[in-house]
Amino acid sequence: MKIKTYYPSKGFIGILLFIIFMACLVFKCMSLTAKEQDANIRSKMERQRLRLAQEFDEITPDEQARLPKFDSRKYILIKHNARFWLIPREYGGGSNGFGPLMLISC
């Protein structure tokens, strides 16, 4: 006696794939909870704030030309909130081990 093997029909497989596809689509398109939406918005705002701060604190060649000359081997030039700071590369000389920070105004 020969045992028959069962193969599902093409229609059954097609409907099964369609149901799986619809389940994935519904899962992907479901709205997020309020907590997830808030976290999403907060992270986007933080990224935008950091990007804008980075663009704002970038030193342009015009600003570089207006600044007084300094020894780049001794100091690092940083722009923060539209102010230029010269920070010593090696700290020392202060009572707590930190030297003074210098503010340069344009």
Q: Are 100 and 94 in contact (CB under 8 A)?
A: yes
Reported as a pLDDT band with limits 50, 70 and 90, residue 2 is confident
* Cα–Cα dist 106/82, whole Å: 9
Answer whether 106's CB lies under 8 Å from 66's CB.
Answer: yes
Both 68 and 98 in one domain: the answer is yes
Q: Does residue 77 sit in the same domain as residue 90?
A: yes
Question: Would you tell me how many other CB atoms lie within 10 Å of the CB of residue 27?
Answer: 8
User: Which residue, 89, 97, 57, 54, is CA-closest to 70?
Assistant: 89
**Tokens matching residue 30:** 């479901």
17 pLDDT band (50/70/90 cuts)? Answer: very high
Confidence of residue 33 (pLDDT cuts 50, 70, 90): confident
Question: Into how many domains does the chain fold?
Answer: 2
Find tokens 């999403």 and name the residue.
40
Shared-domain flag, residues 40 and 69: no
Based on the fold, state whether residues 49 and 83 are members of the same structural domain: no
User: Could you tell me the pLDDT band of residue 77, with boundaries at 50, 70 and 90?
Assistant: confident
Burial class of residue 104 in the structure, from the number of CB atoms within 10 Å of its CB (0-12 exposed, 13-18 middle, 19+ buried): middle
18-29 pLDDT, tens digit each = 999 999 888 887
Residue 16 included in any domain: no
Q: Does residue 103 sit in the same domain as residue 86?
A: yes
Determine the Cα–Cα distance for residues 78 and 59; give it in Å rounded to an integer: 8
* Confidence check: pLDDT of 100 > 80: no
- pTM recorded for the entire structure: 0.45
Residues 51 and 38 in one domain: yes
Tell me what the mean pLDDT of segment 4-15 comes to: 90
**Does 98 lie in the same domain as 65?**
yes
Q: 46 and 88 share a domain?
A: no
